[in-house]
């Protein structure tokens, strides 16, 4: 009986690898601790933030990158925070539309809680309605801000790439290719990741 169970386990594991699935070690990680401001803002968040099942898990993930690295897989729309011993915390994300995707190596150059948001020049060119921000300035950090609860600012050679890993006020779009090049996460996931990283954390974006 033990031999049969062992063989079945091998078959299931092989099937998971062949299908492209990442073996899960611990599913449904607990939510991170929230600040009082987090609680106030999250109480106003879109209901989708609470309806979408938690997909934050520890998975097996083999990579030559060192523990403490962030790997963003825009093709599969997953973000991995690398842990020791071939493991990683896996988060579901939304990434840039096909023509907007960016890949490469960067590092976390700045970190902000409930960041303000100012449309870039390219966004204002594509969507003229955002030009009003030139008059009244950036949107304050709050529950309906497009950057959500947390933002990690990606830098290359000490220069801001304008690419962010951030929360979102549209959690229902997680899993899609919808953004203007940034990497979106559920606010709860963004808060969790924020608590694990620091300025200087390496980031690898692949497709």
Number of H helices, E strands in the chain: 6, 11
**In the chain, where the domains are located:** 24-206
- pLDDT for 131: 66
pLDDT, position 134: 66
The pLDDT, as a whole number, for residue 11 is 34
Active site residues: 166, 182
Q: What is the pLDDT of residues 35-89, one digit of tens each?
A: 999 999 989 987 877 777 778 999 999 999 999 999 999 999 999 999 999 999 9
pLDDT at 20: 45
What is the pLDDT at residue 130?
Answer: 63
* Torsion over CA: 39, 52, 54, 194 (sign): negative
The encoded tokens of residue 177 equal 């290719």
Looking at residue 13, its pLDDT comes to 37
Beta strands 202-206; 70-73: pairing state? parallel
Positions of the chain with pLDDT lower than 50, given as ranges = 1-20, 99
| Fold observed for domain 24-206 | L,D-transpeptidase catalytic domain-like (2.40.440)
């Amino acid at each position: 009986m033990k031999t049969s169970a062992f063989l079945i386990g091998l078959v299931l594991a092989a099937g998971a690898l062949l299908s492209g699935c990442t073996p899960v070690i611990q599913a449904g990680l607990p939510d991170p601790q929230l600040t009082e401001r987090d609680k106030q803002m999250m109480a106003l968040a879109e209901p989708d933030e609470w309806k979408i099942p938690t997909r934050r898990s520890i998975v097996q993930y083999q990579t030559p990158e060192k523990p403490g690295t962030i790997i963003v897989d825009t093709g599969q729309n997953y973000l991995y925070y690398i842990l020791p011993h071939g493991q990683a915390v896996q988060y579901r994300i939304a990434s840039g539309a096909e023509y907007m995707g960016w890949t490469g190596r960067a590092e976390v150059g700045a970190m902000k809680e409930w960041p303000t948001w100012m449309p870039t020049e390219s966004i204002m060119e594509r969507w003229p309605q955002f030009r009003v921000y030139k008059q009244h300035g950036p949107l304050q950090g709050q529950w309906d801000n497009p950057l959500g609860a947390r933002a990690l600012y990606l830098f290359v050679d000490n220069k801001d790439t304008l690419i962010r890993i951030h929360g979102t006020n549209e959690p229902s779009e997680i899993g899609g290719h919808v953004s203007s090049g940034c990497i979106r996460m559920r606010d709860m996931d963004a808060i969790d990741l924020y608590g694990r990283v620091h300025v200087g954390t390496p980031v690898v974006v692949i497709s």
